[in-house]
Structure 1
Amino acid sequence: MLLLRWGLMRLEIHFYGGGGFAPDAGVKISLDKLFENYRDIKNDGPDNISVDGTMAYFAALGVDLQDASMCVPMEIVQAPTVGEMSRKGFVDGWTAIGAETIAKQKLYVAQQVKKLSTDMDLFKRVYRHVFITAKEPSQKAISLENAITYWELLFAPPGKPWATGSTNWLELWVEFLNANWTKSVNKDMWNQTFDFSQKVMQDETLSFWSEDSAWPSVIDDFVAYAKQKRGDVAESMETD
Structure 2
Amino acid sequence: MNGDAKTDERDTISVDGTMAYFKALGVGLEDASMLVCNFFKCLETSEAFSPGPLYLPGSIDFVNLQVPMEIVQAPTVGEISKQGFIEGWKAVGADTIPKQKAYVTKQVGKLSTDMDLFKRVYRHVFVCAREKGQKAISLENALTYWQIIFSPPGKPWVTASTDWLKLWSEFLTATWTKSVNKDMWNQTFEFAQKTMQDETLGFWSEESAWPGVIDEFVAYAKEKRGDVPMETD
* Range of TM-score over shorter length: 0.7 to 0.9
> Residue 176 in 1 paired to residue 171 in 2?
yes
Which residue of structure 2 lines up, in the alignment, with residue 161 of structure 1? 156
Q: Which has the larger radius of gyration?
A: 1
Q: How many residues are aligned here?
A: 199
Which residue of structure 2 lines up, in the alignment, with residue 62 of structure 1? 26
Counterpart amino acid of residue 106 in structure 1: K
Which residue of structure 1 lines up, in the alignment, with residue 194 of structure 2? 199
Offset of residue 99 of structure 1: 1.4
Instruction: For residues 94-145 of structure 1, give each alpha carbon's deviation from its aligned partner in whole angstroms, at most 9, with x where no partner exists.
Output: 1122212211111000000001110111111111111111112311111112
Structure-2 separation of matches of 1:217 and 1:51: 41
**Residue identity (%):** 70
Which residue of structure 1 lines up, in the alignment, with residue 45 of structure 2? none
Instruction: For residues 44-99 of structure 1, give each alpha carbon's deviation from its aligned partner in whole angstroms, at most 9, with x where no partner exists.
Output: 44511255542432232112453222110010000001111111000111112221
Structure-2 separation of matches of 1:192 and 1:115: 22
Instruction: For residues 31-50 of structure 1, give each alpha carbon's deviation from its aligned partner in whole angstroms, at most 9, with x where no partner exists.
Output: 2xx1x4133x7xx4451125
Counterpart amino acid of residue 56 in structure 1: A
Counterpart amino acid of residue 54 in structure 1: T
Please, what TM-score do these two structures have when normalized by structure 2? 0.80
Please, what TM-score do these two structures have when normalized by structure 1? 0.78
Is the partner of 1:92 in helix, strand or coil? helix
Residue pair 1:69, 1:159 contacting (<8 A) in 2 also: no
Please show how residues 209-224 of structure 1 align to structure 2 within 5 Å.
209-224=204-219
Structure-1 separation of matches of 2:200 and 2:140: 28
Residue pair 2:5, 2:14 contacting (<8 A) in 1 also: no
Aligned partner of 2:116 among 121, 132, 148: 121
Which residue of structure 2 lines up, in the alignment, with residue 11 of structure 1? none
Structure-1 separation of matches of 2:27 and 2:170: 29
RMSD: 1.7
Aligned partner of 1:87 among 64, 82, 87: 82
Structure 1 unaligned blocks of 5 or more: 1-30, 236-240
> Residue 109 in 1 paired to residue 104 in 2?
yes
Q: Name whichever structure is richer in helix by fraction.
A: 1
Structure-2 separation of matches of 1:50 and 1:209: 47
Structure-2 separation of matches of 1:58 and 1:104: 14
